[in-house]
Amino acid sequence: MGGAEEVRTVFSAAHAIYIPLCVVTGLILGWVLGARSSKAEITRLQRLLDDEDERQAAERLVAREKGS
């Protein structure tokens, strides 16, 4: 009691809807953007492997022609 006031915070029904909505929206955006990023990385790595395979095939062809 020494003059200290008790502060009570009242949450409205909007908080019960707004906060979970923000969390779900963040999860969905993270999922979509993460999936897009993963697909782009897989495509990039596949192209890198294809380029490496083409380079190795060209080296084998040159080595075969030199040996003939």
Residue 3 — pLDDT band, cuts 50, 70, 90? low
For 3, which DSSP code? S
| Residue with the two structure tokens 């080595």 | 63
Q: Residue for token digits 């909505």? A: 21
Stronger pLDDT, 44 or 68, i.e. the higher one:
44
Cα dist. 51→41, 47, 58 in Å? Answer: 15, 6, 11
List pLDDT tens digits, range 8-36.
Answer: 888 888 888 999 999 999 999 999 999 99
Q: In the chain, what are the domain boundaries?
A: 19-68
Confidence of residue 68 (pLDDT cuts 50, 70, 90): low
What are the C-alpha distances in Å from 28 to residues 18, 23, 32, 41? 15, 9, 6, 20
The whole-model pTM stands at 0.59
